[in-house]
Every structure is written in C-alpha cells, then in structure tokens.
Amino acid sequence: MAVEKMRIMNVVAPLEVMESVVVDILKTGAVSIINSQNQIDNNAFTFNLENENNLERAIELNHIAPFERDSMLNVTIEKAKEMEEFFGIKDLKVDYDRIDMGVDYEAFYDEIKYKSKRLKEIREDLKVIDGIEENYDYFKNVNIDLSKLSDLKYFKVRFGILDKEARFRLKKNYGNILAMIFHTATIDEGEVYLAIFPKEVEKEIDRILKSLNWEDVEILGRYKGTAKEILENFESEKEALRKEEKEILEYRDSFLKSNREKVETAITSMLISENIEDVKRFMAKSNKYFYLSGWVSLRDKESIEKILSKYDGLLISFKDPIEQGIKPPTKLRNSNFFKPFELLVNMYGVPSYTEKDPTPLFAITYMLLYGAMFGDFGQGAVFFLGGIFLSKKNKGFGGLLKRLGLSSAIFGLLYGSVFGMEDLIKPILIRPFENINTTLGAAIGVGIVFLIISYALGFINKITNKEYEEAFLGKEGLAGFLVFLSFVNLAASKVLNVNIVPTKLCIAIIGVSLLAMILSKVIMSAITKKKIETEDGYYIGAVFGLLETILSVVSNIISFIRVGAFAINHVGLFIAFKTIGQMIGTTSANVISLIVGNIIIIGLEGLIVFIQSLRLEYYEMFSKYYTGDGYEFVPTTIRLEDK
C-alpha cells in the first residue's frame, strides 16, 4: 500500500533481435516506454570499456539515428485484417508467449490470399447482381430489347423513379413536357417511369426531371435482351457464384478447424507490428544496435532481467531517476480492497512520487463518511448487488459500489434502518432521527479526528519532501495545526465545559502561531543563515492569509456537521414518503410510496451523499496533506484494437 520505487531501464541489443525484444517487453505490461534519445543525451547509456565487447557499443554511439517508419507496415496490417475477415475471427484469443517474431507468419496469408480475394469478388458480384436485378425487375413488363434503346440515333431514353408528390406535379404539367413518359411499376420508394425524348431537348428535359427529384435507374447498354430474359440469366449466374462461394467457405472452415491456433497467432504477430512501430518512435538505433528506454518498478526489475537474459549481446542497466534529477511517474500498489478507490483519488490528482499514497486512508474515511450519511441495510444491499453486476463490465466502479454498499449496510444495522423503516430491527448503536444533538455532536467529533490525522500526514509529507518552512510554519503545517487544536479546545470549553488547556494559553498559542506564519521567511532565513528574498506586498498577503487560515479552521470543523445532518435527513426523507402513503389510506398506496420513495432515495440521495463525501475528502482533508501533482505510470502494452 505505497508508491512503488521506480527505475529507468536502458536496453542495448543487436538490431536483429529488436522486434522480439520489444514484444517480450510489451508482453510484461510492466514497462512504460520513454524517449531513449533523451537518455543518450544525458549519458545514461555508458559502458564499462574494460570489457572488450563494450568497445564496439561505445563507438556505435557516434552513429545514433531515429528509426524510420516501416514502409510495408500498412500492407502487413491490411493482410492481417484481410485474414481476420476471411476467417471470421472477431476476438483474438492468443497466448502471447507462443509468438515468435522471427517466424514468417505471412506464409499463412500467401496460402489463402487467392481464396480470400475470390470470396470478396463473389460477394461483390452477388451484391451488384442483386442491385441490377432489382433495377431490371422494375421494367419486366417492358417487352423490348433494352440494350437497343441506348443506340437510338435521334432519341434519348431514361429510366427512373419519382416519389408520389412528384408524380402529381408531372401529371399536372405533362402537356408542357417534350417527352413521352410511361409508368411501368409501383414500388415502396415511389413510381417507376420510362422517359423518351429527342436529343435536341436533352438539357431542357434534364432540368425538368431534376426539379421533380428524378432518380435515374441505370440499366441501359449493360445486357442484351428484354428485362425478363436478363432476369432469367441472372438466376443461373447467381447459382454458379453461390456454388463457388460455398466451396470456398467449406475450405475455410476446414482449414481453420485444423490450424486455428496457428492462424490466430499469425494474425496477432502481423498486427503486433503496428505496436512495434509505435515503440520505435521512442527508440534510437546505430549501425548495429538499437537503444530502448522505459520506466519500470523496482519490484519488476528482476523479472524483466530474467526475460531478456535469453538474448545474446543484450545489455541492460537500471538508473535511479532521483540521482538523474528526473521526476518519475507514480505507480500505486494497493490491496484489492483499496484499489477501486484509486479512481476517486486520481480524480483529484495523481500522487506525487515522493508523497505518501493517500488511497488506504481515503478508502477507510470515505467508506465511513458515506456509510454514516447513507446508513440503511436494505439500500446498502441494493448498492452491493448493483456493484456485483457492474463489476462484470466495469471492475473499478463496480468494486467501488460494492464497498460503499457494504458500508451503508453496516451503518444501517447500527442505525436499525431497513429500506427506511426503523421498526423492523433494533439499532445496535443509535437512531439518528431520535438523537439529533448526539448525532450532530458525534459528526463534529469524527471530523476533528479526521482533520488531526490529515494534519499529521501533511506534516510527514512535508518533512519527507524537505519542505521545512511549510512543515513547521505553514498554515497546513505545525503552526496551523496548533491554531486548529487551540480553536477546538476553546469550542470544547464553551460547549462541553471541558477545558483541557487554559483559555489564556490557547489564545497565546494562536497568537504566536499566527505571528510565526507571517514571519515564516524571516525565521527560516535566521535558521538556515541564508538570505531569503520576499516579494513586494508579502506581509500584506500574509496578513490576509491569516484571516483565511482562521476561517478555514472554523469552516473545516463545521463542514463535518453535514455527516450528521444527512444521517438525520435520510430517515426524514423516507418518513415524508411514508406519510404520503398513509394520507392516501390504502395498502397499495403504502406499498407504492415505499417502492417509489426507496428508488428516489437510492438514486438521488445516494448521488448527493457520494458528492458530499468527496467534498469533505477533497476540501477538508486532502488540502492538508495531499498535493496530487504527480503523473500516472502507464505501461506500454500490446493493443490489437483497430485504429
């Protein structure tokens, strides 16, 4: 449950094994590829020249160049997709360990390329014939050789379709058109016509037909004979094509049955070439070697070394990024229970490499806040079951919903609430609606505990990052923490008559702490004996900062009242629906109000509590100890999606 330590991995190996090495690295899913040229410029690729084998590697660094794009890549990808289409493979299920980039998998393509091409031609021919056949079917009542109509010397012939509205406009103006127009058929799209007109008026007729939205049907000059004769010929041609199609499909199915694993491996290997090409954009090469760099966690270091140890001439090294002055990505390692909450943490910001992972604390406190505000055993069970269902499609959000549902159900048992009804089971702890002051007071108490933890974690993070001024004299550091505790003590003495620290001492601590915040740079300058320059208006800004500090301390504490308020409101909202059912006075009305009320509460209040819990985490707690200015470790993996 921490931020994993990272290393920069640098690999040098002969060009001959480049593709195999890249695929092996991608298969691990543990490396994030970065620009190797930057590493070369920073002298990260250094070699021990006492070893004679490294002498050539050192010389080769004088011939560094980027990789050029493979001109045949698109051809390879198209071949792979053609094989996918031919064999009807939609989801590739391949054991990547079986892939060997040294094998010429395109031999499979050569074996089936003719049949694949022919199958496409047959299907295209059948599609074309169906379209043409449909056109000729419109004119099967025209008993003339259609091919001869295109050879008329003085007349032009056009076949086309008009919609119903255009037909009436045509009939209305028929006497004004220099053409003979015959109605030949009625179809769903409209009316089918044959138009014959002198070639001398072709432009005028074309203008008129366009105004009528005439849609031409191209059938002239393609086939000889009447439409009826041509349709009969189409049937025999289609039968021959379907027979050939069936033979190819039988061959395909038989071939796939005997070689499915090899076929899928071949297709995958060809598609992987696109992934290799993507990685090559970050790599460099010389005359004999290639250079690859990437982020890898310290935990995965040994396993990657073991995987790459099979390659002769490959040299691998790991560098500490902190020593090189490079900011590493953040890779979190959390248990399965806490992992879904990384989604909400990353919404605020990715943890910095040098700060503590807030996910475990966030998960625990968020579940407590959500459960306390939305405590109901029945509704929590609905969330839990919903989480189980959603986990099949979205593991992260489904897992989050399951945990929130579990927390809600547990608090429901503590409150004695089942689907809003508080008369089914006895509460283990308290009924919030019947103990309003106790509930609100407990909410503030829980808030104070959470804030104390937040201040403590913030202090640890600042010390770890060597931000000593902020750690001791900042408003979120020790000085701010003393102001917070003093205000808590003053409030407790007034409300609860509990005075742990004398009031005058509390006021003195507040005064000294606020003064230390104003003079923080002066104090740090005296301690470090280094002159620290301050900006113009620094002290005026510091005074206003004090007002903000005092207001934020008070608002932070008061904000947690909402936890108790929502716990009370949750019951009150259901009582409103229950009252509506009782006012109607029928059993069915009571049942309907119970169902509708629970649906609205689960949907609406469940979302509101989700947001309010986030607000408390983000604004009241994260602001004390979490910066979230890191960037996520994203492993470079094999992706076979269509691009």
How would DSSP label each residue in 628-642? --B-B----------
Which domain-ending residue is among 225, 259, 290? 225
Q: How far is the C-alpha of 357 from the C-alpha of 3, rounded, in Å?
A: 6
- Tell me the average pLDDT across 578-598: 80
3-state helix, strand, coil in the chain (%, to 5): 65, 10, 25
Give percent of the chain with pLDDT exceeding 70.
88
* Position 226, amino acid: T
Task: Report if residue 585 sits inside a domain.
Answer: yes
Give me the pLDDT at residue 613, please: 95
Total number of domains constituting the chain: 2
Give me the pLDDT at residue 595, please: 87
Backbone CA torsion sign across 162, 166, 172, 178: negative
Q: What's the whole-model pTM score?
A: 0.74
Task: Report if residue 250 sits inside a domain.
Answer: no
Q: How far is the C-alpha of 75 from the C-alpha of 92, rounded, in Å?
A: 20
pLDDT digits (tens, 9 = 90+) for 391-449: 988 888 999 999 999 999 999 999 999 988 888 889 998 999 889 999 999 999 999 99
Provide the CB-side half-sphere exposure for 507 (13 A, CA). 4
We report the CATH number of the domain holding residue 191 as 3.30.70.2750
Backbone CA torsion sign across 437, 443, 449, 452: negative
* Position 342, amino acid: E
Q: How far is the C-alpha of 161 from the C-alpha of 138, rounded, in Å?
A: 10
Task: Report if residue 220 sits inside a domain.
Answer: yes
Listed in sequence order, the DSSP H helices in 138-226 are 146-149, 164-172, 202-211
pLDDT digits (tens, 9 = 90+) for 64-84: 999 988 777 777 788 878 888
Task: Report if residue 52 sits inside a domain.
Answer: no
Q: How far is the C-alpha of 269 from the C-alpha of 392, rounded, in Å?
A: 29
Q: How confident is the model at residue 643 (pLDDT cuts 50, 70, 90)?
A: very low
Q: How far is the C-alpha of 621 from the C-alpha of 643, rounded, in Å?
A: 42
Task: Report if residue 278 sits inside a domain.
Answer: no
Assess whether 452 and 601 both reside in one domain.
Answer: yes
Assess whether 221 and 361 both reside in one domain.
Answer: no
Task: Report if residue 285 sits inside a domain.
Answer: no
Tokens standing for residue 51:
């070893």
Distances (CA, A) of 32 to 13, 44, 68, 297: 18, 17, 21, 10
Torsion angles phi and psi, residue 564, rounded to 5: -70, -35
Task: Report if residue 634 sits inside a domain.
Answer: no
Q: How confident is the model at residue 17 (pLDDT cuts 50, 70, 90)?
A: very high
Provide the CB-side half-sphere exposure for 626 (13 A, CA). 23
Structural domain for 220, as ranges: 144-225
Give me the pLDDT at residue 639, please: 78
Task: Report if residue 635 sits inside a domain.
Answer: no
